[in-house]
């Protein structure tokens, strides 16, 4: 398994509260991604990073921000959590973004917003 950890693994929070999820990798891969997984939707890309301090939006980025100050860490922040952000969040990494790229996933964080 790729060396990817996510913290926390489970979190329950209240509407309006800021939340930060952390993804940590030991593979020194350049690319990192945040997805959310919801029933009937598969996985949808929230944000991704193509290097330290280089990030871009994905398909469902509203209400989320990210930061990457080190190669190994990619943070996802919900500035003011809403119930619609209750989901399972997966981090992924890849060495490249080209034709032979393969993404490897972390264990996930289950977030419940009450």
Partner 1 sequence: AQSVSQHNHHVILSEAASLELGCNYSYGGTVNLFWYVQYPGQHLQLLLKYFSGDPLVKGINGFEAEFIKSKFSFNLRKPSVQWSDTAEYFCAVRSNTGKLIFGQGTTLQVKP
- Which residues contact partner 1 (rule: CB under 8 A)? 1, 40-45, 48, 58, 90, 97-108
Q: Which long-range contacts (CB under 8 A, 24 or more apart) does 7-13 make?
A: 7/109, 8/109, 9/107, 9/108, 9/109, 9/110, 10/109, 10/110, 11/109, 11/110, 11/111, 11/112, 12/111, 12/112, 12/114, 13/81, 13/111, 13/112, 13/113, 13/114
Structure tokens at 72: 């190994």
Cβ 18 to partner 1 shortest distance, Å: 25
Cβ 19 to partner 1 shortest distance, Å: 20
| Minimum CB distance to partner 1 smaller for 14 or for 38 | 38
| Minimum CB distance to partner 1 smaller for 16 or for 50 | 50
Cβ 99 to partner 1 shortest distance, Å: 6
Cβ 23 to partner 1 shortest distance, Å: 12
| Minimum CB distance to partner 1 smaller for 69 or for 102 | 102
| Minimum CB distance to partner 1 smaller for 15 or for 97 | 97
């Amino acid at each position: 398994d790729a060396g990817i950890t996510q913290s926390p693994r489970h979190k329950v929070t209240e509407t309006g509260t800021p939340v930060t999820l952390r993804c940590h990798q030991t593979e020194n891969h350049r690319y990192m991604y945040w997805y959310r997984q919801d029933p009937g939707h598969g996985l949808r890309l929230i944000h991704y990073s193509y290097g330290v301090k280089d990030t871009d939006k994905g398909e469902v980025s509203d209400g989320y921000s990210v930061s990457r100050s080190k190669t190994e860490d990619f943070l996802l922040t919900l500035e003011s959590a809403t119930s619609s952000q209750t989901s399972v969040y997966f981090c992924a990494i890849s060495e490249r973004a080209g034709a032979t790229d393969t993404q490897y996933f972390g264990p996930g964080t289950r977030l419940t917003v009450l």
